[in-house]
Amino acid sequence: MTERFRSGFVTLVGRSNVGKSTLLNQLVGSKVAIVSDRPQTTRATVRGVRTMPGSQIVFIDTPGIHKPRTLLGERTNQRALATLGEVDVVCMLVEANASIGGGDRFIAELVQQVDTPKLLVVNKIDRAGKAAVAEHLVAAARDLGDFDAYLPLSARTGDGVDALVDEIEGRLPEGPRYYPEGTVTDQPETFLAAEIVREKLLAVTRDELPHSITVAVEEMEDGDPEGLTDPETDDPVLRLRAVIRVERESQRGIVIGRGGQVLKEAGTAARHELEALLGVRIYLETQVRVERDWQRRAHALDRLGY
């Protein structure tokens, strides 16, 4: 008898910086979520798709659950928690190289309240010894409640990821193929471009600009059809405009940098990565605008899609 096709939705939850976005990229085999060592880098739920011969898993990368200091923080928390009761499997991540803390226990309590298969993922085993990983698994089982499976892995190297996929696949219901073969995300190109520009700016500005930056990208129309191709190669060119918003004039100076160097460096890095990901030449225009206290104003968050 032929096995029926299985499909379902899986959410990745945990504290900030436990490696959810890195794991999502590893699971789908392509970059669909930006990665940074800054807490609360992920602000929106990002979907990644992994299709196998007998199944399709739609992974949902959620913002790190944290103690919010702004309205934006409250909304990202709500977005992450809302996924718990809407999926087929919940994967909670903790770090192998950090002790289980109050934040982990808080999230685990919420996870335990839903009647959904639950997997506890101990990530970053590449940064901890075998004894530390084993100790972590024991502590997780003791302190975080009942999970259907406990899985050590490294999202960075991929070690242990196949075992996680097997555990998830076995718990999926029979269902349809939600996305066509070859799809790795349902995010539009403009969303991916905005996130990559923000990732590069966070990398270039280091600790100077932690959370006061947001990026929106739109595709630019060109009245001259010939202007949409590279004049040297005749290859198509995707024209994008990135609008970078900060909360203070001083932050605008940080983003632009002396002589425009910071913005140029981040924009160039973003363009090169987007060209590699999308397989098309990119023309990227950047603008920096000051929008005071956008993280704290409901109207601004609504308009910016948060």
* Amino acid letter for position 187: Q
246-284 tens-digit pLDDT: 888 888 888 898 899 999 999 999 999 889 888 888 999
What pLDDT score was predicted for residue 223?
40
CATH architecture entry for 189-303: 2-Layer Sandwich (3.30)
For residue 3, what pLDDT band results from cuts at 50, 70 and 90? confident
CA dist 215 → 48, 111, 132, 201 (Å): 21, 31, 39, 10
Topology given in CATH for the domain delimited by 6-169: Rossmann fold (3.40.50)
CA dist 89 → 92, 148, 163, 172 (Å): 10, 10, 15, 8
Query: Pairing relation of β-strands 89-95 and 149-152?
Result: unpaired
144-178 tens-digit pLDDT: 999 999 999 999 999 999 999 999 999 999 999 99
Per-residue pLDDT at 306 exceeds 70: no
Chain region(s) in the chain for CATH 3.30.300.20: 189-303
